[in-house]
Structure 1
């Protein structure tokens, strides 16, 4: 079985660059296995997750050379209930300082993956894999070992047999011999050698040299003042000192970015919590003074992808610019701060070197206003027609405005609300086969304070011989529903055209139906108390 394609994702390259910049270490968090073959068009560098994961395992060994990380793992089938083809392995890693796990590399077979069989119920089957992943500067990466991971046979030092060990091996406790005696370390030997006196260095024989006890007995005669223990720094005192480096030893910013390949915003978003000093030259992507000036300053990162700070720069004319920096998970905002002495304030006097403008039009000074300019605080008489770009507002609430005073919108609205309006004849519909005379007119007036619609007018058919013809007035364009109605009308008698009879309209939904006798139906007030024809409604359309 061949796994012939191993690539690093863009997130993986960024993570390794961040780890090298922060001098932290790489944790291999997990390895996901998918039973789904990647399409041939898949761009692995853009992948951020593995599709259809069927099994997750841990890395159990790490090694590296100049440009390659070698990550090993063991896959067993003890938890597998159905055979599957291991098409894709996704390796997830994180910076040991912030722990945000990312998909850093993908290994896949293009045509011949291993088949992981289902567990038979007796002895599990195990598969051992080593993945060689190309990274620049791989030899500089430090690994953060996971406590519950285990190493493969070729990555450990054995307690028996002869072995050649490449590189430096560090132990948390000192190694001992079979009897439990610790081996001497080089530093221990050197410390002991520093205490010996070479015979060649002795200017007097040993019997003519004072011992430590004799020196201590004479120290009160030596001209020095012992240190006051309460006024000196002890090792224990430094346990809570801040130990994260903020600047380089020469005082320059600790983070330095150069060229368009570097991105200031992405760098800020990837910083660990703490105080950081930064420099970015003028060609760095997302430098707020890109192409004008380099910037430098600081940011205080208070959580993953969250913080604030300040950047400053200057152009070729030595004009300084200061930016407030706001960092979030979704982006970085750079806000240019103004010189307080050069901006207008909402309170107090503001003196301008030049006349202020609006859309390049200078404002008029109060002292230069024309004498015939209308003032709002006093009566004005216009001797010529005035044209306004927007309707003027009249605040006069008096009822009697006189013959020559302008009406307000409230005045016009009041007239509109109390006015009779003509119903469009398209809403007056006779039965099929008949038409309205063009001088048919139905008027209505709305009193929304009582939800009442008043009606008046005459329905006329073209011929006086059009007897007992039903005509419907549709009010659905005005009201949503009719609650009550009292609409009387008169028409010529069907028997004697010289006589007029009184009738009542009928109601269905929002419609009123009338019968035109000898071509006429005239809506009128009723004889009962002289009530005007009307309907009540729930609400207007």
Structure 2
């Protein structure tokens, strides 16, 4: 009698079951359905109480039945749409009522759909549609003969049947694609299911900023081909795919153009771009810049190291920091004649074996052979200026007492530039909550850089995160000692992608007074 899912269930009323029994014996027919919404919550009510309902009160909104199709010989699936533009004031949608009219023009409350987590219906100026599907028992689906949906709107089945008579459907589908129109699949998956943050497969279409603004103030998630997004020029490769997250802050450019993040997690690459006009996007910018060439890698034997330079591949031997510090002492250094470059002395090499050597060392800047020498300062400079991955534990949150919030996977990269005394910082990852309302508050988001520096002097960058009404938002960093902090942040859904974004240039920069 009830279809139960993790987030909602549908119960047939007693009157609905009586009518379904009549349909099963072909003693009656259903000629129309009607959908209504209310803020009254029935999810935790007794099922028998729900089955005994004859009405839903108070009615906050009338919906439109835009599709009814058979799932089996005795069940049908109903699709109802509710447009937020048509409501008088904001409300929480907790329950849907499905009314049925029989061939004698008698209308009854047929079924009740109860939501565990209400959908917030906000009054908006542009069309913003919430779509719901529910399965009901109809006894004999042959006796469900719907001619028109509510408000004299034809059902999708009737529309498709009539269109098939008037135009080649293949040509129509191609026309929609060629002219950048959204078909029913796109509308149902991309618009209708947005409240549940479904990732829609729209891999072959790169929508304009205006299309997203016309779609309303919200966040969309789509599966895209990198080639469609022109990300092949950004290093993804033209055969890959990415998840595209679009934050639309307003219905037109007066509130700012949409902001997009493309993430190809299989390649650990993240890019973002912002609309420049109604029809054009800005260039893609990497959130995690490519690491420079020539970095040293350690082989599987944990001894041999390899580096690719302009002169080809170079190999060497891994030496610990303790050994380098020991060699830096004067007593452990090989001395040579400053005029001839000749060396003639006993050398204890890496603590094992005594050797008598007398090589001639030429100018390392000109010599291309094996006797080039790197100083301790050279080695430490390369180490400090390289990109390094920090322990994700440097990122933490101060939980709000009302919410059960956790930090998901975090990527933390940094690069130290000693000359200008700043750290280039790239952080991306997720925050999530088990809060039943699907939104949460954190009292602080912090990044602890005390293992690297003494004090922060200034910051150029922000923390990107979803904000109110699902729009993109950024929060400026402040600092206390060596810790970056944001203060309180409200997230309007149960999980959120967060990342550091620059205020200028391509990197978030943290300036410091002293390097540890």
TM-score by shorter chain over 0.5: no
TM-score by length of 1: 0.27
Query: Normalized against structure 2, the TM-score is what?
Result: 0.28
Bigger relative contact order, structure 1 or 2 (CA pairs below 8 A, ≥6 apart): 2
Whose strand fraction is larger, Structure 1's or Structure 2's?
2
